[in-house]
């Protein structure tokens, strides 16, 4: 029997037998056992398990023991489910939360299997990126994305908040950004933006699910929308009209002017002040109008601005080789640009890498050549492509210890609704989440589990792509 658990645990034993019906006592006893040391996990048990199919209580009741064991791997847990008795042990509160998310899948159909498992993630950074700059998804949709990410034990949501097409976060010292540069999107729609109150609430919502939000404002390129609001930060100071196309690489801030750097300082200061996590993403990709020397000089100054404001920075891979502050993360996304120096950067600099290879982890790429949504500049990415890869192997020569995470990315040139979003994300997000968790590789078992998840998505009214690489029957 396949365990319909995604990501698959590191080890598990599914003992023979029909299991027992899930009851309210199971859920109540689990939540009570977690309350004192893992309150967010307890809340998840009450929220995510309460609506599962249940029967009347067993006459003998249920015993649940939930304890913390710091000797386990970080974010790790063990579960032992037996008739009338459950034991949950976790390294920390995050491990307890992920154990509850695993239970939400294992118990989804209302039956408690006779099961033992031991689990822990391979990577501390397990993320999803959502581009709300090109096409705007508001707070309610972002919450649904957070729920989806957490259900597959992802712990980071990277929000792409600015691009040539729109600016999506309130910056109080720069009111024209949201007045002039937020009211459009690539679909010709009305766009929108997050107030700082929205941003605060989304972060709290995410943290309740052990997900940290990493905001991204892309600099110095992908900045046409910012220049619409403040032309003085552009290279020529000329006024600009809003842009709703999908070309990249044509825009850049002025590299040296006081006006441009005052703008950058205002933006980074706001991000640093209002972000609850320790990292902000400051872009750095596709600055195609700059020479390498100009680009490196700019990125080094930008890194210093982040450091001045007490925040750690993430940059796209192009920044590798610049002298960046210690602890900087670099996000690898493509082999289509020069990468030979990355291994040396990993050895010589205090930086780490997150793997987001577009040919594996870009969820905006088409499944098939004739698929109506998505692009195909990197590859056609079907489920097995998103599942069957190794993050360290994607960054040749980079030491394994320098690769700290995996992130799936959804750019929004083509989706126009939440159904479009889920059509692109599912079923590939569970595949990338399995890579990020470091699940043992077993595609037939994964595909079988994925088919069960497809039945649950159908029951929940969630639109997804029925890849021919999975038997959904």
Give me the active site residues, please: 286
How many other C-beta atoms lie within 10 A of the C-beta of residue 341? 12
Sheet holding 11-14, edge to edge: 11-14, 115-119, 77-82, 85-90, 63-68
The helix-helix angle for 24-34 and 93-106 (nearest 10°) equals 170
Q: How far apart are CA 393 and CA 133, in angstroms?
A: 31
Whether the CB-CB separation of 53 and 22 falls below 8 Å is answered with yes
Beta-bridge partner residues of 63: 85
Whether the CB-CB separation of 77 and 89 falls below 8 Å is answered with yes
- Phi, psi (5° rounding) for residue 24? -60, -35
Tell whether the torsion through CA atoms of 374, 379, 382 and 388 is positive or negative: negative
Beta-bridge partner residues of 342: none
Give the residue among 319, 306, 351 at the shortest CA–CA distance from 215: 306
C-alpha dihedral (263, 265, 269, 272), degrees to nearest 10: 110
How many other C-beta atoms lie within 10 A of the C-beta of residue 84? 14
Whether the CB-CB separation of 91 and 36 falls below 8 Å is answered with no
Give the residue among 42, 47, 37, 86 at the shortest CA–CA distance from 64: 86
Beta-bridge partner residues of 82: 85
C-alpha dihedral (216, 219, 221, 223), degrees to nearest 10: 70
């Amino acid at each position: 029997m396949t365990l319909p658990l995604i990501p698959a645990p590191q080890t598990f034993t599914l003992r023979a037998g029909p299991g027992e019906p899930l009851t309210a006592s199971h859920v109540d006893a689990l939540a009570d056992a977690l309350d004192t040391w893992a309150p967010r996990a307890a809340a998840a048990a009450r929220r995510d398990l309460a609506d599962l199919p249940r029967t009347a209580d067993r006459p003998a009741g249920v015993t649940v023991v939930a304890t913390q064991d710091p000797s386990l791997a970080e974010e790790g847990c063990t579960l032992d489910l037996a008739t009338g008795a459950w034991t949950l042990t976790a390294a920390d509160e995050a491990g307890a939360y992920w154990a509850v998310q695993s239970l939400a899948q294992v118990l989804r159909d209302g039956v408690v299997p006779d099961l033992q498992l031991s689990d822990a993630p391979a990577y501390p950074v397990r993320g999803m990126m959502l581009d709300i700059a090109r096409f705007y998804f508001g707070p309610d949709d972002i919450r649904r994305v957070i729920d989806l990410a957490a259900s597959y034990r992802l712990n980071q949501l990277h929000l792409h908040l600015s691009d040539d097409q729109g600016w999506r976060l309130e910056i109080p010292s720069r009111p024209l950004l949201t007045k002039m540069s937020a009211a459009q999107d690539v679909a010709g729609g009305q766009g929108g933006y997050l107030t700082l109150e929205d941003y605060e609430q989304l972060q709290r919502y995410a943290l309740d699910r052990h997900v940290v939000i990493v905001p991204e404002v892309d600099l110095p390129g992908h900045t046409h929308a910012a220049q619409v609001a403040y032309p003085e930060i552009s290279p020529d100071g000329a006024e600009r009209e809003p842009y709703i196309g999908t070309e990249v690489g044509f825009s850049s801030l002025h590299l040296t002017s006081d006006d441009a750097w005052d703008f950058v300082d205002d933006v980074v200061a706001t991000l640093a002040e209002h972000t609850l996590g320790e990292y902000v993403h400051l872009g750095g990709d596709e600055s195609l109008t700059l020479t390498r020397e100009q680009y490196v000089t700019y990125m080094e100054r930008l890194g210093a601005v982040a450091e001045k404001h007490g925040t750690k920075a993430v940059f796209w891979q192009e920044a590798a080789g610049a002298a960046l502050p210690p602890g900087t993360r670099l996000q690898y996304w493509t082999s289509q640009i020069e990468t030979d120096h990355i291994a040396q950067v990993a050895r010589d600099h205090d930086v780490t890498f997150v793997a987001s290879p577009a040919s594996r982890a870009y969820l905006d790429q088409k499944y098939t050549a004739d698929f109506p949504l998505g692009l195909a500049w990197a590859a056609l990415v079907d489920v097995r492509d998103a599942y069957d890869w190794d993050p360290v192997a994607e960054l040749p020569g980079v030491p394994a210890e320098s690769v700290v995470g995996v992130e799936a990315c959804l750019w929004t040139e083509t989706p126009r609704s939440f159904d479009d979003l889920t059509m692109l994300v599912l079923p590939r997000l569970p595949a990338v989440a399995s890579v990020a968790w470091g699940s043992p590789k077993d595609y037939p078992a994964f595909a079988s589990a994925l088919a069960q998840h497809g039945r649950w998505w159908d029951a929940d009214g969630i639109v997804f792509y029925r890849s021919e690489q999975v038997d959904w029957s």
